[in-house]
Amino acid sequence: MEVNASVSYPCDLCGMSDPKVILAGINPTNLTDTERYKSSSKDFCTEPLVECKGCGLVFISPRRSDEEIQKAYQAGEDWDYVSQQTPRMKSFEKVLDKIERYYPKRGSILDIGAGAGFFLAVAKQRGWQTDGIELNSWLGDYGAEKFGLRIQDRPLVAGVFPEKSFDVVTLWDVLEHVPHPSQTLQVVKGLLKPGGLVALSYPDWGSIFARALKRHWWFCLSVHLYYFTPKSIRALLENQGFEVVHTSRYYQSLELQYLFERMKQYSPTLGSMGKSLTQKFMGENMAVPYYASQKMVVARIPLEV
């Protein structure tokens, strides 16, 4: 894929077009775009990171065009992601518990960036009517075949689903990947019934880990186009008419050997040692809950809107 590095966009939150550079670009890696743009990507961010002078939103600029990014997401397999099916589904059980506190009845739910359908499978087991969107057709097909789910391999745009057709829409670690988050949330709002919920998670650029590590933060990746803080996420949601009703740390569970394998990129010695010790004394499938500076947010469309 030919990279068009000259594409710059105004701030998605406030519209200003004169951001300041906070991290200069560095030499890119040799990964193909298919390898870079996948759910389990661990490719360091090599593009410049900029901060809007008006609202403080941080994002990559310049970057690839929307068309290039979409095309890259559609291709390739991701066995690394699906290898963690069991712990990911256990994590989503706890996430759904939180959603059901605010929406206790079993209604219709749409998962955007559904991956291999793990969240939707959990929701389906609990009696929810489920739909999903996932650009990567391989992941979507996995979810359809494994769990009998409806997952469409197309971008989320107005008209894909009828308006006001869902009780809940979810975006798990997705909003930082989309080229235009405000536009995505606008479409989401149109899909929700009055009183409906949007639930999402995101890596917190305002966390102590991100502030200390900057470009070496594990979520500072080329695949992440935006870097949100609690303030900017709330502003994005409120700009679209949502009312934030819940914010918390976002915990996940993954196998220790998987985590140590990913650690090799940052510390090859510690990663290899940790993986070896885990396999020897705890078994390859030993999973643990962890907090990696992510946040979960639940927001509602007020009934009067």
In tens, the pLDDT along 62-106 reads 998 888 888 888 888 888 889 999 999 999 999 999 999 999 999
| 24, β-bridge pairs | none
Helices (DSSP H) in 25-104: which residue ranges?
Answer: 33-36, 66-74, 79-82, 85-102
Q: Per the structure block, which two tokens stand in for 295?
A: 């946040």
pTM above 0.85, yes or no: yes
Q: State pLDDT tens for residues 141-181.
A: 999 999 999 999 999 988 889 999 999 999 999 999 999 99
Q: Contact at 8 Å (CB) between 175 and 13?
A: no
Average pLDDT for residues 224-241, to the nearest whole number? Answer: 97
The predicted pLDDT at position 69 comes to 87
Both tokens assigned to 280? 């020897």
* 95-127 pLDDT per residue, tens: 999 999 999 999 999 999 999 999 999 999 999
Q: What is residue 88's three-state secondary structure? A: helix
